[in-house]
Structure 1
Amino acid sequence: MDRENIIYLFLLVLTFFTLQTSTASQMFVSHRHLVGEWRLLHESIGITAMHMQLLHNNKVVIFDRTDFGHSNLSLPRGRCRYNSHDLALQKDCSAHSVLYDIVSNTFRPLMVQTDTWCSSGAVLPNGTLVQTGGFNDGDHIVRSLAPCTDENCDWFELPRTLVQRRWYSTDHILPDARIIVIGGRKQYNYEFYPKNSRGDSAFSLQFLKSTLERYENNLYPFVFLLPDGNLVIFANTRAIILNYKENQVVRELPSIPGDEPRNYPSTGSAVLLPLDENRPMEAEIMVCGGAPRRAYRYADKYKMYMKALSSCGRINVIDDHGIWEMETMPTRRVMSDMLILPDGDIIIINGASRGTAGWNNAISPVTTPVIYRPNVRRDNRFSIMKAASRPRLYHSSAILMTDGRVLVGGSNPQEYYNFTGVEFPTDLSLEAFSPPYLARKHSHLKPTVLSIDEILTYKSSFSATFTVPTFLRIGTVSIRIIAPSFTTHSFSMNQRMVVLKGVVVVAISDNSYKFTAFAPSTKEIAPPGYYMLFVVHAGIPSSGVWVKIQDST
């Protein structure tokens, strides 16, 4: 074989293996000139969407707080909430929670008894939402809501289940199916739900106290489960790796450059970038936006609104010598949400360019979402999307839905429901943002999953069939799973994506294909529970289908 043929054969082999990589699918379709679309779903759902969680029955639990006063949605059948401890109404016949059906675009009221203001949550492996803490009579409460198909399921509340008061704390599901509840106002500790054999104690975490500053708090710390089973906890400018089983700090990460706080009330946002089982395991966290020191004091006391931060930092937290790589967003942002999209990109949505979190502490809303592509050149990672028609400031939220849209709601900078006479009134609407991959011009590349193994066991292979109107090449397909987030106060708790390995695609018939892939390797990479699975073809994702990951037993 002559030299030219050898080179040609080498290039063919190199091209084949390049196409097999998990990131290749992002490169076949350009979204450069597409900016997404907005759609108003409901002008009012009766409450403001302060907290949101998608369940595996394609319904979204939405709630605000009980001490706002009357909401704009009545409880059904003449029901009322009687609570002598409530700070607003001891008898309240209005709802402060709803269950939204993303398929039918309908909602119904739910009844929550105790105050859920600034609380947190996570979903158990059986699909039940566990929701912790809040304010006043709700600060020691654990609430749960199990997915159901009838119209009768509602909140169930366990009185004073938590050891410590949890207001502005962070929850994370663990590999052993427990939930760790971390921090909160004046709480420099963590605890577990359900309790284990250690007893019902709370475990001291000095790191939370050491990152507290005179005018800056460090509430809603950013928490992520790492593939080695430890947790990374980020508060204001610093982060640690915590072995929660031994209550030991494994190491401290370098401080994020700039020395400006990122947690509530400075309220930046953070995300664990997708975990890819096709390559040596890395775990990168990315922290974006926030507000400078003194910003909260100036806004709260003097109504002077400092410019928000425009910087983002990302760091490989598995690398003992990892350093922050800093980038600049197209817009300054405080109180924005960061969500992982099915194609592996990150959307940054909601927020303001001046001020901080808190009552009327921000101005200059940022209505343009930004999409960040983590696997392209640094100078080409950010794209500005189409602007929304309404601002989403304090007490707004966003989550990913199974069809690939982003559900957006909330915004209540007022202490109570207030619709008139203020610059930024209470917003009770729901909107959906469709990222560029949902554009009609890409519909011929969009996969549709026909059937799938719905129960996946660790390390085991599974299969699914799907169709694509125009199939490109085998190497343009990747399979990803996403854990739905509990989103509140600009942080999406428990959110994670895993790119699955061992993907093999074969043609069955015209436009029909079958893939096999391997479920996640360990519980630390993907804790047991329900995930949205997406087939991504040439950078265009299918709608998500629900799978449950569990032990073989």
Structure 2
Amino acid sequence: MTFSTTLLYHHLLILVILLLHAPPCPAAGGSWSVLLPSIGISAMHMQLLPNDRVVMYDRTDFGISNISLPNGKCRPNSTDCSAHSVEYDVGSNTIRPLMVLTNVWCSSGTLMRDGSLVQTGGWADGYRRVRTYKSCDTCDWAEIPDGLNQQRWYATNHLLPDGRQIIIGGRQAFNYEFYPKMSAAENSPSFPFLVQTNDANVENNLYPFVFLYPDGNLFVFANNRAILFNYAKNQVVKTYPTMPGGQPRNYPSTGSAVLLPMRLNKGNVNVIEVLVCGGAPKGAFVNANNGRFDGALDTCGRIKISDVNPQWVMETMPLARVMGDMLLLPNGHVLIINGASAGVAGWELGRNPVLSPVTYRPDNQMGSRFEVQNPSTKPRVYHSTAGLLRDGRVLIGGSNPHDKYVFTNTLYPTELSLEAFSPSYLDASSSTLRPTIISPKTKTTIRYGKRVAIRFMISGPVDLNSVSVTMVSPSFNTHSFSMNQRLLVLDSGNSTKALGKSNYQVVVTAPPSGNFAPTGNYLLYVVHKEIPSPGIWIRIQ
């Protein structure tokens, strides 16, 4: 080999190495802002309320938090007079401490039809507790001892069409129950699927992914498998194929999942799909506990659960991720945010934070669905949270991989700050294309199956064929899963029309029943060229 040939070979080798290590695609946009440097606690659990306040909490046995309870209060039988729950007011960007009495660590919850948060389970003295929070300037948590039949720790909740919530699973709880109870004698039916998906000593089926299917059954995904489940009859209606590769996707190999946007057409949804992304490979939990941190999974599985013969279609994310959150944005895109690229969920078991969010456009062709977004500077690893706000921003909080508050001499300090991620649709350059809803007014009640006229303004040029209306449920977020999350694209029947300068109207049909959208509070958006308006609160019944 001549010198020149050798030189060329080395140049080509360097080029190949650079290409292999180059980012998969350039950052597409989005911006970050710190809302509050500290809220006093690490936001392990998060729920947006229909008054634009957000309830957050961590656990009562972390130690003394950085925010005191008001008026010299202390928890009963405790020397801890600090708060472990707070309410964040989005409009005023302020925090109010709340008192939670029993341990809410790794608990679950759902926003009920009346706008109150019903939260269930936790650790130790919180195992069987039900806690309710109805927001007002002076309101606080109320607790119901023995409100649950079973101990619930790492369970998943979902609002049902009848207004109750179902609580599924939890550590060593291979059953489900409902709240509120129909009677004192109501039991907890066994759920063999949770036994079948339980890995000895690892589990990998905690916080199962649960979505209400429009026929009233539940899609339940645990570990690497899924079923369609009739909870009323305690029967498996359909068993779906195991996700290719068989890798675990639930806690502690924590991936995330969404029910993709459901497009209503003449009172029905023709295609219903679920997307499951990220996680950690088999053996990663044991390895991490022995100091070896396996790379996170970089795959997503997408399945049309409405098909007669549904099959998983696998896709590759540009960034591998464990402990990432998946959120439905008002324009129907999916945001994948937070998490790490190695290890698993658990105390000190994650490594290499993934700072860049990724958006997923489900309607694009395969190969052009993922876009890497601009990065944060704050690692958000174990016990971080994310939630959609009415204005289209995404609230980000939490991150505490320690069993207490630790701020120094550690890889990933306890994070008390709140950030907001603003997707690129909030860029100033899009302001003339952004709709503003004029009517109906916020807090309007709409009824199933009825037509609703929505008036809106857009200051710039309008493409009437690029207007849609979406309805998003406010979800309960913890441990990389947003419970009760769903987005519906309402049927507008090509009704968008101009009413005058910058004024427009679109008429949509509300969902036909509680199977599509359980009674309660939702965020309604008008979307123009993938740019959503600020949302308004509506109540459907």
Fold equivalence (TM over 0.5): yes
- Corresponding position of 2:429: 441
- Corresponding position of 2:261: 274
Match of 1:522 among 497, 501, 513: 513
Hey, what's the Cα distance between the residues in 1 that align with 2:472 and 2:228? Answer: 23
1:219 is aligned to 2:206: yes
* CA drift at 1:32: 8.8
1:488 is aligned to 2:478: yes
1:289 is aligned to 2:283: no
* CA drift at 1:244: 0.5
1:160 is aligned to 2:150: no
Bigger drift between 274-283 and 133-142 goes to 274-283
- Corresponding position of 2:13: none
Match of 2:175 among 186, 189, 192: 189
- Corresponding position of 1:395: 383
Structure 2 contact 391–535 (Cα < 8 Å) conserved: yes
Hey, what's the Cα distance between the residues in 2 that align with 1:518 and 1:373? Answer: 25
Change (3 A) 1:280 1:546: closer
Deviations 1:172-194 (A, max 9, x none): 00000010000000000000001
Deviations 1:101-120 (A, max 9, x none): 11111111011000000000
Match of 2:467 among 474, 477, 485: 477
* CA drift at 1:35: 1.1
Deviations 1:98-157 (A, max 9, x none): 100111111110110000000000011111110000000001000011132xx2011111
* CA drift at 1:371: 0.2
Structure 2 contact 278–299 (Cα < 8 Å) conserved: yes
Residue 119 of structure 2: SS of its match in structure 1? Answer: strand
- Corresponding position of 1:259: 246
Counterpart code for 2:32: W
Deviations 1:22-49 (A, max 9, x none): xxxxxxxxx9974100000111100001
Deviations 1:394-423 (A, max 9, x none): 000100000000100100001100001111
Hey, what's the Cα distance between the residues in 2 that align with 1:199 and 1:547? Answer: 36
Structure 2 contact 331–531 (Cα < 8 Å) conserved: yes
Match of 1:456 among 432, 446, 450: 446
Structure 2 contact 211–220 (Cα < 8 Å) conserved: yes
Residue 303 of structure 2: SS of its match in structure 1? Answer: strand
* Superposition map of 1:134-213 within 5 A: 134-148=122-136, 151-196=137-182, 199-213=185-199
- Corresponding position of 2:540: 549
Structure 2 contact 26–372 (Cα < 8 Å) conserved: no
Deviations 1:252-308 (A, max 9, x none): 1000011111000000000000111037522111100000111111112x1110011
Residue 441 of structure 1: SS of its match in structure 2? Answer: helix
Ranges in structure 1 where 5+ consecutive residues have no aligned partner: 1-30, 84-89
Hey, what's the Cα distance between the residues in 1 that align with 2:91 and 2:269? Answer: 38
Structure 1 contact 215–296 (Cα < 8 Å) conserved: no
1:100 is aligned to 2:88: yes
Counterpart code for 2:259: L
1:329 is aligned to 2:317: yes
How many residues end up aligned between the 2 structures? 511
- Corresponding position of 1:28: none
Hey, what's the Cα distance between the residues in 2 that align with 1:102 and 1:439? Answer: 20
- Corresponding position of 2:5: none
1:352 is aligned to 2:352: no
Residue 464 of structure 1: SS of its match in structure 2? Answer: strand
* CA drift at 1:505: 2.2
- Corresponding position of 1:499: 489
1:109 is aligned to 2:87: no
Bigger drift between 274-283 and 367-376 goes to 274-283
- Corresponding position of 1:18: none
Structure 2 contact 217–231 (Cα < 8 Å) conserved: yes
* Superposition map of 1:313-324 within 5 A: 313-324=301-312
- Corresponding position of 2:39: 45
Bigger drift between 508-517 and 403-412 goes to 508-517
Structure 1 contact 215–294 (Cα < 8 Å) conserved: no
Hey, what's the Cα distance between the residues in 2 that align with 1:460 and 1:263? Answer: 39
Deviations 1:428-483 (A, max 9, x none): 00000000111111111000112206111000011222110113222111000000
Ranges in structure 2 where 5+ consecutive residues have no aligned partner: 1-24
Hey, what's the Cα distance between the residues in 2 that align with 1:547 and 1:380? Answer: 34
Hey, what's the Cα distance between the residues in 1 that align with 2:374 and 2:401? Answer: 24
Residue 352 of structure 2: SS of its match in structure 1? Answer: strand
Counterpart code for 2:523: M
TM-score normalised by structure 2 residue count: 0.93
Match of 1:244 among 215, 226, 231: 231
Hey, what's the Cα distance between the residues in 1 that align with 2:248 and 2:81? Answer: 40
Residue 415 of structure 1: SS of its match in structure 2? Answer: coil
Residue 496 of structure 2: SS of its match in structure 1? Answer: strand
Counterpart code for 1:275: M
* CA drift at 1:70: 0.5
- Corresponding position of 2:296: 308
Structure 1 contact 51–397 (Cα < 8 Å) conserved: yes
Hey, what's the Cα distance between the residues in 2 that align with 1:146 and 1:412? Answer: 27
Hey, what's the Cα distance between the residues in 2 that align with 1:153 and 1:518? Answer: 36
Hey, what's the Cα distance between the residues in 2 that align with 1:485 and 1:421? Answer: 35
Change (3 A) 1:32 1:359: closer
Hey, what's the Cα distance between the residues in 2 that align with 1:391 and 1:540? Answer: 28
* CA drift at 1:538: 1.4
Residue 71 of structure 2: SS of its match in structure 1? Answer: helix
Hey, what's the Cα distance between the residues in 1 that align with 2:305 and 2:373? Answer: 30
Match of 1:368 among 353, 356, 359: 356
Hey, what's the Cα distance between the residues in 2 that align with 1:141 and 1:197? Answer: 17
Structure 2 contact 28–371 (Cα < 8 Å) conserved: no
Bigger drift between 209-218 and 426-435 goes to 209-218
Identical aligned residues as a percent? 52
Structure 2 contact 356–374 (Cα < 8 Å) conserved: yes
Deviations 1:58-88 (A, max 9, x none): 00000000010100000111111023xxxxx
- Corresponding position of 2:217: 230
Hey, what's the Cα distance between the residues in 1 that align with 2:223 and 2:423? Answer: 30
Hey, what's the Cα distance between the residues in 2 that align with 1:33 and 1:130? Answer: 39
